[in-house]
Chains A and B, each alone.
Chain A
Amino acid sequence: MDVSFPLSSAASSSNAALARRVREFRLIARDPALLVGLLAVGVFIFAFIVFPLARVIVQGFFTPEGQFSLNYFARYLEPGYAQVYWQILAWTVEMGVLAALGSTALGFLFAYTVVRCEIPFKGLVHALALLPTISPPFAIALAAILLFGRAGLVTRDLLHIRFGPGVNDVYGLDGIIFCQIITFFSIAYLILRGMLERIDPSMEEAALSLGASKWHIFRTVTLPLLTPGIAASFLLMFVESLADLGNPILIGGNITVLSTQIWIAVNGEHDQQKGAALALVLLLPTLTVFILQRYWVSRRSYIAVTGKPTSGAATFVKEPIVRWTFIALTILVLLLILSLYLTIFAGSITKLWGIDYTLDLTHFTGVFKRGLEAILDTTFLAALATPLAGIAGVLIAFLVVRKTFSGKEAVDFMSNLGGAVPGTILGIGYIIAFIRPPMFVVVIVFAALAYFLVGAATKQTSWRLIVLVAGSLSGIVLAWLAYDDKARAASAFSFLTGGLNWLPTLAEMQWLLYGAGIFMALALASLLCVEAQAKRRVFVLLALMAVYLLGRQWILLLTDPLALWGRRLGGDYLPGLVTSVASWITLLFQPPLALVGFTYTVLGAFVVAVWSARTRLLAALILLAGSGALTFYGQPLALVGTAYIVLMAYAVRSLPATVRASIASLQQIDPAIEEASTSLGGDAQHTFRRVTLPLILPAFIAGLIFSFARHMTSLSAIIFLSTPKWPILTALILSEVEQGGLSLAAAYSVVLIVIVLAAIGLLYLWAGRAFRASADITLGAG
């Protein structure tokens, strides 16, 4: 749309820094699409990353009654608790350090073998090494139990070990560390491989020509160049290990580490304060490492600066002994990994592992009968969150790479933070933040968006404020109409509207009907009051907004009978499938009203901008009242228990991946290519759609694949948010293992891995067709 929003009338020249900030913002504001993007990203990051994390930190210091207390921090000093608490901390650190050392070493082994040792079937080795990244986080633990557990195939049936008290079994710290090394080394491998590939061979050749021996070169050239990568990988692995919940739960035995302690506190003892306090203890080291990694290690890197991997021939290890040692070790580890995964598969088709090894496919029947809903719902939610994370990621990357504005660094930092902190912390944060309406967030976000709307309506600050206040208050009064007496008394706005209790209480359907009526009336009014060339667009938009509101209720006329019909269908799978589809459709039509309110506020700005000048303020007022009413209706953003909180958790967890992928590919594109489009008349939106997006699409798709895999396999945040209505596969598998259903858990895991692999295959197929023609595009300067 060709409208611009002058957000600030004049830059004060007295304060140069402030003026610059205002100017930066106005530059972005000149392009409405960009401004809306920035707003959306800001709201998303604020509401779903910053706010929940802040709530966790605060919650640790307050009892449920709101009293300040250092209870749980004091336990590290209290004689009765201190020993246990410090023991858990010691185990946690031991686990983190050893797992980080092990996975970094393993990652280096693989990276060096693949890059320098000319291992045959390089592609296959690469793919297998990445297998752990697309499987559920406890898959290795499950396999380890099946192979080396008390009734394990290797331990009992091959080695005939009889476990009694005192015999060292797979459960415990060593088991956790083993599983974590295998689970996490892929990431270390990717980091170090990238580093090794970027080392210019001519540097090593230069050393060679100066008379250095191979070993000397490795010590004095290669290794120092790799040090930042090794440090980065070690730190990252340390954090991953500390954050891991699946492996410690499954294979920890009597060992409790910090993440399981938190989990028990929240899910077992239902003590949010304890959970939050311990989460803070866990947050400190991970945050320190995150900041270290971001601001220290990455600046020490000598290699990342040069960018592209060198295309020239890499130097290979020529000494056969060295080469074959590396290859042999790699193959050994690969065989171990492969056997672990095969074990899961074997476990899923075995009658009773450890006792009766006959073939039995009934586990899968059970999985699809009882777990069908979980499988379908998890896949649906993971898929739905994928474009969400993808679009947010590209937007953030675009803003960070191409635009200058204050707070850019913060946006970049925060967008990564949500995925970098342990999932447990985010999960707890979501419960604490969204169990009751987070009015703080709702009010701030609404105020920001409402100012955007009135900013489009008028340039005069006084009028803006008048419309803003009047519109918001009318909105609250409208929302008030939906409350019954009890809700009114409990409402955060009772002080504002104390005199309004004579207003009738409307039933939801009735209320929505009136709400839709407001938007419909505006739609009709727009036919008279909107500039001719925008008339049709605005009318359709407003009418759609009205219809979508009613759709919340009307859709039930479709989905309720559909679900009913589905339940009566015969067969094992059809009823589950049909009811799931029915609930998906409902989900799409019944987003939290507050989110609808936010969206309508932004859309309202576009409507108002083309409204005729005479009635523009009135239109802004009515639009603001309507969206305000939606925003404050009922329990705004009390999302716990809904599928939307799972969606948000998914998107936040995978956001760093999509942001990184998009940033990396954006930095490869010469800004002049985008400027060329601008200078030929393309606005930001056109340029982004026609030039930027096609160029970063391959990286974008890869980011989407990774996001989907991460959603499907994520556990630590989701385990707190999964509900009976929206069961999540990973949480289900975990409870299955706890109940001793190893084979069933294995079957679920196989299904999960197959879904992820299938998604990857599909996306590659599609991407392959879309990009075959332009596969060899060079992203440089033409």
Chain B
Amino acid sequence: MFLTLDHITKKFPGRGQEGIVSAVEDLSLEIGKGEFFTFLGPSGCGKTTTLRLIAGFEFPTSGHIALAERQLEQVPPNKRDMAMVFQSYAIFPHLKVFENIAYGLRIKKLSNDEIRRRVSQIMALTKLTGLENRMPNQMSGGQQQRVSLARALVVEPKVLLFDEPLSNLDAKLREEMRFEIRDLQRRLNITSIYVTHDQEEALALSDRIAIMNKGKLAQLGTPEEIYERPRSKFVADFIGLANFLPAQVQTIQDGRATVQVGAHTLQVTALPNDTAGHASLVFVRPGDIKLVDDRTQANILEGQIIKATYLGEKFDYRVRVGDLELRVQASEGKRHAAGERVHLYLPPEHARLIGEE
């Protein structure tokens, strides 16, 4: 593998009474060459610390990091052949755009002609041509982010590191930049490690995603795997919207489980390694629940709408079922009002058993 994290632990001295806090705990990963890999998680989950460990700005308390078979312990950050794109862009405010982008090339002591050639090439690629002589404070946030990206790309690093690079941009620009980053990465085939707390961004960009929680790896997989087959309540909750119904498992067989939710008996999907003891929740996304009239079908829950909200392309309902409250999103069908009694159909292929942890 190209980049290996081997049992990485990072502890920080905590504040006050906390003693020592583990930011990353026993993390092991392998990242392939040319892969777009994302660390996703809520703030404080250790994703940025992991990135900084890879970059060399922090040093693991224990464990090893290797890049292309080379151990990185003794290698200072400036010799690691990685380039980082920062959340705050971190553009040198005293240098013009051209000099900002040329910075890493000047350190490599390339000839002036070579520097000019490579900088203008990358500026064209990042749609910055014409801004060579601007000072950073004369540019918009999006342009600054492009400079930051170009500055990192131009040195042709072995690994490109992104630390929440889009979180300071407004929603529309963020989406645009997302595609540009993905496009550039594909074209230049640079191994990229991306840190974000925005699940949509992670899903759109990544080849693989590592979801982190409290310093530990919660789940590792492709975007589809993560979204469709979350392995724990935390992952399911973090990616997209989710309903969780406390359930009592009666039988598990061939990927099918029969569970008891309140007074209802439901057929749901089970993963091969689910056991009756382990899984105690039924997980279903609000968009997968259907409002139906036909009450004779199986997998039907009865409830009363307590709140209906119009969201433009869809309706969002809060439905009380027994003492549970479910969220249902419907984009078609007739509109229901608060107070109406409805029947909810949970398709067995979309309702899944899931563990608490």
Q: Is A65's beta carbon under 8 Å from chain B?
A: no
Stretch of B89-97, B182-190, B239-247 at the chain-chain interface:
B89-97
Contacts of B76 in A (CB 8 A): 4, 30-31, 683
What is the interface of chain A, defined by CB distance below 8 A to chain B? 4, 20, 23, 27, 30-31, 670, 672-673, 675-683, 686, 690-691, 694-695, 774, 776-782
Contacts of A672 in B (CB 8 A): 86-88, 90
Report yes or no: A778 in contact with B93, Cβ–Cβ below 8 A.
yes
Report yes or no: B103 in contact with A679, Cβ–Cβ below 8 A.
no
Say how far A738's CB is from chain B's closest CB, in angstroms.
51
Report yes or no: A670 in contact with B90, Cβ–Cβ below 8 A.
yes
Q: Is B37's beta carbon under 8 Å from chain A?
A: no
Q: Decide: A781 near B90, CB < 8 A? Known: A30-B76, A675-B57, A680-B83.
A: yes
Report yes or no: B90 in contact with A782, Cβ–Cβ below 8 A.
yes
Nearest B residue to A674 by beta-carbon distance? Answer: B90
Q: Is B78's beta carbon under 8 Å from chain A?
A: yes
Q: Map CB proximity to A onto B69-111 as digits: 1 under 8 Å, 0 otherwise.
A: 0000000111110111011111111100000000110011000
Say how far B154's CB is from chain A's closest CB, in angstroms.
9
Q: Decide: A695 near B93, CB < 8 A? Known: A679-B78, A680-B104, A777-B137.
A: yes
Nearest A residue to B93 by beta-carbon distance? Answer: A777
Q: Map CB proximity to A onto B148-179 as digits: 1 under 8 Å, 0 otherwise.
A: 10011001000001000000000000000000
Say how far A452's CB is from chain B's closest CB, in angstroms.
19
Report yes or no: A774 in contact with B161, Cβ–Cβ below 8 A.
no
Q: Is B59's beta carbon under 8 Å from chain A?
A: yes
Say how far A562's CB is from chain B's closest CB, in angstroms.
43
Contact of A682 among B84, B87, B93, B107 (CB under 8 A): B107
Q: Is B136's beta carbon under 8 Å from chain A?
A: yes
A13 to B91 Cα, complex, angstroms? 40
The 11 listed contacts between A and B (C-beta, < 8 Å) are A4-B76, A672-B87, A672-B88, A675-B77, A675-B84, A676-B84, A676-B151, A691-B92, A695-B94, A782-B92, A782-B93
Report yes or no: B77 in contact with A678, Cβ–Cβ below 8 A.
yes
Report yes or no: B89 in contact with A781, Cβ–Cβ below 8 A.
yes
Of A676, A679, A776, A782, most buried by chain B (CB within 10 Å of CB) is A679
Q: Map CB proximity to A onto B101-145 as digits: 1 under 8 Å, 0 otherwise.
A: 001100110000000000000000000000000011100000010
Nearest B residue to A6 by beta-carbon distance? Answer: B74
Report yes or no: B92 in contact with A679, Cβ–Cβ below 8 A.
no
A677 to B83 Cα, complex, angstroms? 9
A150 to B144 Cα, complex, angstroms? 69
Say how far B271's CB is from chain A's closest CB, in angstroms.
40
Contacts of A23 in B (CB 8 A): 59
Contacts of B91 in A (CB 8 A): 673, 676, 782
Say how far A556's CB is from chain B's closest CB, in angstroms.
43
Nearest B residue to A670 by beta-carbon distance? Answer: B88
Nearest B residue to A693 by beta-carbon distance? Answer: B94
Of B86, B87, B151, B161, most buried by chain A (CB within 10 Å of CB) is B86
Q: Is B55's beta carbon under 8 Å from chain A?
A: yes
Nearest B residue to A782 by beta-carbon distance? Answer: B91
A675 to B57 Cα, complex, angstroms? 8
Report yes or no: B83 in contact with A679, Cβ–Cβ below 8 A.
yes
Say how far A352's CB is from chain B's closest CB, in angstroms.
57
Q: Decide: A680 near B152, CB < 8 A? Known: A776-B137, A782-B89, A782-B136.
A: yes
A778 to B92 Cα, complex, angstroms? 10
Contacts of B151 in A (CB 8 A): 676, 680
Say how far A767's CB is from chain B's closest CB, in angstroms.
14
Report yes or no: A680 in contact with B90, Cβ–Cβ below 8 A.
no
Contacts of B77 in A (CB 8 A): 675, 678-679
Q: Decide: A682 near B89, CB < 8 A? Known: A695-B94, A777-B94.
A: no
Contacts of A681 in B (CB 8 A): 78-79, 104, 107-108, 155
Contacts of A781 in B (CB 8 A): 88-90
A774 to B93 Cα, complex, angstroms? 9
Nearest B residue to A676 by beta-carbon distance? Answer: B90
Say how far B121's CB is from chain A's closest CB, in angstroms.
17
A436 to B93 Cα, complex, angstroms? 51
Instruction: Give the size category of B's interface with A.
Output: 20 to 34
A686 to B108 Cα, complex, angstroms? 12
A677 to B93 Cα, complex, angstroms? 12
Contacts of B89 in A (CB 8 A): 781-782
Contacts of B137 in A (CB 8 A): 776-778, 782
A672 to B91 Cα, complex, angstroms? 9
Contact of A678 among B57, B108, B161 (CB under 8 A): B57
- Inter-chain pairs besides A678-B57, A683-B76, A781-B90, 7 sampled, C-beta below 8 Å: A677-B103, A680-B83, A682-B103, A682-B107, A691-B92, A778-B137, A781-B89
Q: Decide: A679 near B59, CB < 8 A? Known: A673-B92, A776-B137.
A: no
Contacts of A677 in B (CB 8 A): 92, 103
Nearest B residue to A697 by beta-carbon distance? Answer: B94
A437 to B132 Cα, complex, angstroms? 60
Contact of B93 among A20, A31, A673, A683 (CB under 8 A): A673
Q: Decide: A675 near B90, CB < 8 A? Known: A680-B152, A682-B78.
A: yes
Contacts of B144 in A (CB 8 A): 782
A25 to B78 Cα, complex, angstroms? 18
A682 to B106 Cα, complex, angstroms? 10
Contacts of A678 in B (CB 8 A): 57, 77-78
Q: Map CB proximity to A onto B44-59 as digits: 1 under 8 Å, 0 otherwise.
A: 0000000000010101
Contacts of A774 in B (CB 8 A): 94, 135
Contacts of B84 in A (CB 8 A): 675-676, 679
What are the nearest 4 A-B pairs in CB distance? A781-B88, A680-B104, A782-B91, A672-B90
Say how far A614's CB is from chain B's closest CB, in angstroms.
23
Report yes or no: B92 in contact with A683, Cβ–Cβ below 8 A.
no
Contacts of A779 in B (CB 8 A): 93
A202 to B136 Cα, complex, angstroms? 30
Say how far A223's CB is from chain B's closest CB, in angstroms.
31
Say how far B125's CB is from chain A's closest CB, in angstroms.
18
A681 to B157 Cα, complex, angstroms? 10
Contacts of A30 in B (CB 8 A): 76
Nearest A residue to B139 by beta-carbon distance? Answer: A782
A782 to B137 Cα, complex, angstroms? 7
Report yes or no: B107 in contact with A680, Cβ–Cβ below 8 A.
yes
Contacts of B135 in A (CB 8 A): 774, 777
Nearest B residue to A17 by beta-carbon distance? Answer: B13
A774 to B96 Cα, complex, angstroms? 10
A4 to B75 Cα, complex, angstroms? 11
A508 to B349 Cα, complex, angstroms? 96
Contacts of B79 in A (CB 8 A): 681
Report yes or no: A679 in contact with B82, Cβ–Cβ below 8 A.
yes
Of B59, B79, B92, B144, most buried by chain A (CB within 10 Å of CB) is B92
A782 to B138 Cα, complex, angstroms? 10
Nearest A residue to B80 by beta-carbon distance? Answer: A679
Contacts of B78 in A (CB 8 A): 678-683
Contacts of A4 in B (CB 8 A): 76
Of B80, B82, B94, B155, most buried by chain A (CB within 10 Å of CB) is B94
Say how far B199's CB is from chain A's closest CB, in angstroms.
24
Contacts of A683 in B (CB 8 A): 76, 78
Contacts of A675 in B (CB 8 A): 55, 57, 77, 84, 86, 90
Nearest A residue to B107 by beta-carbon distance? Answer: A681
A683 to B77 Cα, complex, angstroms? 9
Nearest A residue to B154 by beta-carbon distance? Answer: A680
Say how far A692's CB is from chain B's closest CB, in angstroms.
10
Contacts of A778 in B (CB 8 A): 93, 137
Nearest B residue to A777 by beta-carbon distance? Answer: B93
A777 to B89 Cα, complex, angstroms? 15
Nearest B residue to A13 by beta-carbon distance? Answer: B62
Contacts of A782 in B (CB 8 A): 88-93, 136-137, 144, 148
Say how far B103's CB is from chain A's closest CB, in angstroms.
6
Q: Decide: A680 near B155, CB < 8 A? Known: A686-B107, A777-B94, A778-B137.
A: yes
A678 to B55 Cα, complex, angstroms? 10
Nearest A residue to B81 by beta-carbon distance? Answer: A681
A387 to B89 Cα, complex, angstroms? 33
Contacts of B92 in A (CB 8 A): 673, 676-677, 691, 782
